[in-house]
Amino acid sequence: MGSPQFPGDGKYELRLHALAANPKIAARVHFRGHSEDPASALRDADIALHTSLRPEPFGQVIVEAMAAGTPIVAASNAGAIEWLTPGSDCTTYTMGDARGLARQVSHLLAQPDEARRIAKNARLTAESLSVKEIGPRIENELIVAAGPSA
């Protein structure tokens, strides 16, 4: 899903397309490109993978997938892990470890009850990160950081 967003990502996308052309998996891998309705695309997915090769401070796609009720596999050393609970609202692998990623995907596909439990918890985590919930927390942090008014 999606399309390259950063300089140099086009080469990575081409590599992914070449790997996905393998006859063993070609029928099961779909590249959807840019979507104006990512929530719908994420609801249709069995699992959402966050496979960034560089740490990201928040990872918006992770929250979007969680809000859509889609189980997430994310890199354990990505910035987003700070607000996730592996084993509860996501599963993790070490960034760049393709075998580890494959193990997590295989596990969720083989354990649909666990995938549903993780997706349910993920939705709750996403709700706690909504603007309605997080806005007042940020505002309070800014007030505390500013200190007493003169």
25/84 same-domain check? no
71/115 same-domain check? yes
pLDDT in tens, 60-113: 888 889 999 999 999 988 777 888 899 999 999 999 899 999 999 999 999 999
Q: Give all strands (DSSP E) within the chain, no chain letters.
A: 48-50, 72-75, 91-93
Q: Of 79-88, 109-118, 136-145, give the range with the top mean pLDDT.
A: 109-118
CATH code, domain with 88: 3.40.50.2000
Q: How far apart are CA 72 and CA 31, in angstroms?
A: 18
The number of folded domains in the chain is: 2
Q: Which domain holds residue 3?
A: 1-34
Q: What is the pTM of this model?
A: 0.74
Name the nearest CA neighbour of 28 among 37, 40, 38, 19. Answer: 19
94/124 same-domain check? yes
Q: Residue length, the chain?
A: 150
Residue 3 binned pLDDT confidence (cut-offs 50, 70, 90) = low
Q: How far apart are CA 52 and CA 81, in angstroms?
A: 13
pLDDT in tens, 40-57: 888 888 999 988 877 777
Degrees, nearest 5: CA angle 13-18-73: 60
